[in-house]
Amino acid sequence: MLWNWQHHDWPNFVWNSNRLVAAERRFLLSGGLFIGAIKHLGSNECNQLTVETISNEALKTSEIEGEILDRASVQSSVLRQFGLTTNKQRARPEEQGIAEMMVNLYHTFAQPLTEKTLFAWHKMVMSGQRDLKDIACYRTGKEPMQVISGKIDTPKVHFEAPPSSRLSYEMKRFIAWFNQTGSAGEEFLPALTRAGIAHLYFESIHPFEDGNGRIGRALAEKSLAQSLGQPTLIALASTILARRKDYYKALEAASKSMDITNWLSWFAGISLEAQQHTLALTEFLIEKTKLLDRLNGQLNDRQQKALLRVFREGPQGFKGGLSAGNYIKITGASPATATRDLVDMIKKGALVRIGEHRHARYHPNISLSTIKPVTINDQGEVIVE
């Protein structure tokens, strides 16, 4: 069996572009809807959308690799990167580093890709690492770079990357391809196609000793942002994490063939689903602002505090909904006062109640979009389940 980079026609991938036409059209349409939606956000809501999305992507892209980071530390780091806080909360180097890379991606998405950028990202992602030989440079080890699983004595090899001696040449070709296939490039490719190939192409080279997955997903996001002409704030890593097994399976299959139609179809579905998350969060922020404006001056301090606290949890709110017990903890109200406050908030249209008595749970009175899985079938139809 040959890996894709061992084929004589590497890296000239082939695919059925007809299978992606509808998905490409839908991605651009949804991208336009997002651009239109954020125009209805105030500066505070825009900042919230940006910080929450980038923080969540930083967390999830790390979690895909099995690294669990502290949400508060990552978000604090992102806020500092944007100059939105003077909070000096300490963060571990790995939390600071991934936040720095994601914010850098946001600010520099439109710039051509360079080796300098990749090395800078690698240094950020590897912050705090003490056991790596090669940081901010391509790997130099003589041993094969393999992705393996299973027992030590009987490992299963899922992929083997090109030897380190080829990396300088391979990466020069990759960087040239990336810049030539953008919207102003000589070899323009549609948004989802280019991003999907960029991720697979980079992962197939696997140029770094560690951190290839996080940087590869950042390259996919950079590609998508360049196609739309602005940061997408797309929940790509979050969506991939929910499909992690399928993600690795699709990558492994694509690493063995030059025909990448199935990989691009899978990636397109994931990207469209990720777009739904971003649009849902944007709609949530718009609806939140409308509700707070309508309720202006109608709520007492306790009610206002509780409602804002629920909104800080994002579109999902408290897991299972706000309970009377939660309300008491947030506001310090007595049980009787909490009951009166909650009933009053329902009458004023601030909350809706689900369930009765001690099983009652309360949710903000706003409409929320449902996120649905997306697949691209063999005929190129976009199937929203």
For the chain, helix (H) and strand (E) counts, in that order, are: 14, 6
Share of the chain above pLDDT 70, in %: 100
| 327 Cβ neighbours under 8 A, 6+ residues apart | 306, 333, 338, 341, 342, 362
Domains in the chain, start-ordered, CATH in brackets?
A: 4-282 (1.10.3290.10), 298-385 (1.10.10.10)
Query: DSSP of 47-73, one letter per residue?
Result: HHHHHHHHHHHHHHHHHHTT----HHH
pLDDT surpassing 90 at residue 383: yes
Specify whether the backbone of 372 is left (phi greater than 0), alpha (psi in -120 to 50) or beta.
Answer: beta
Residues 214-251: tens digit of each pLDDT = 999 999 999 999 999 999 999 999 999 999 999 999 99
pLDDT surpassing 90 at residue 123: yes
Strands (E), the chain: 146-150, 155-160, 351-354, 361-364, 374-376, 382-384
Mean pLDDT of all residues in 199-220: 98
pLDDT surpassing 80 at residue 102: yes
Average pLDDT across the chain, whole number = 94
Helix then strand then coil, % of the chain, to nearest 5:
55, 5, 35
> From CA 100, how far away is CA 124, in angstroms rounded?
7
pLDDT of residue 27: 97
In what helix (H) or strand (E) does residue 383 lie, and over which residues does it extend?
strand 382-384
Instruction: Report CA torsion sign: 52, 39, 111, 276.
Output: positive
Residues 286-310: tens digit of each pLDDT = 999 999 999 999 999 999 999 999 9
- What is the SS3 string spanning 104-115? HHHHHCCCCCCH
pLDDT of residue 162: 96
pLDDT of residue 151: 79
pLDDT confidence of 87, banded at 50, 70, 90? confident
pLDDT of residue 250: 97
pLDDT of residue 128: 82
The vertex-34 CA angle with 29 and 36, nearest 5°, equals: 95
pLDDT of residue 215: 98
Environment class of 183 (CB within 10 Å of its CB; exposed 0-12, middle 13-18, buried 19+): middle
> From CA 32, how far away is CA 43, in angstroms rounded?
20
Please name which of 195, 183, 185 lies closest in space to residue 222, comparing C-alpha atoms. Answer: 195
Mean pLDDT of all residues in 245-268: 97
Mean pLDDT of all residues in 374-381: 96
Instruction: Pull the structure tokens for residue 158.
Output: 């899922």
pLDDT of residue 188: 97
pLDDT of residue 135: 95
Please name which of 163, 369, 375 lies closest in space to residue 277, comparing C-alpha atoms. Answer: 369
pLDDT of residue 119: 98
Residues 181-190: tens digit of each pLDDT = 998 889 999 9
Residues 150-164: tens digit of each pLDDT = 877 778 889 999 999
pLDDT of residue 49: 94
Asked if 24 and 191 touch (Cβ cutoff 8 Å), the reply is: yes
Helix axes 93-108 and 115-125, enclosed angle (nearest 10): 150
pLDDT surpassing 80 at residue 89: no
> From CA 99, how far away is CA 105, in angstroms rounded?
10
> From CA 30, how far away is CA 33, in angstroms rounded?
5
> From CA 280, how far away is CA 37, in angstroms rounded?
10
pLDDT surpassing 90 at residue 332: yes
Asked if 208 and 134 touch (Cβ cutoff 8 Å), the reply is: yes
Residues 39-51: tens digit of each pLDDT = 889 998 999 999 9
> From CA 342, how far away is CA 351, in angstroms rounded?
8
pLDDT of residue 370: 86
pLDDT of residue 193: 98
pLDDT surpassing 80 at residue 30: yes
In what helix (H) or strand (E) does residue 364 lie, and over which residues does it extend?
strand 361-364
pLDDT of residue 64: 97
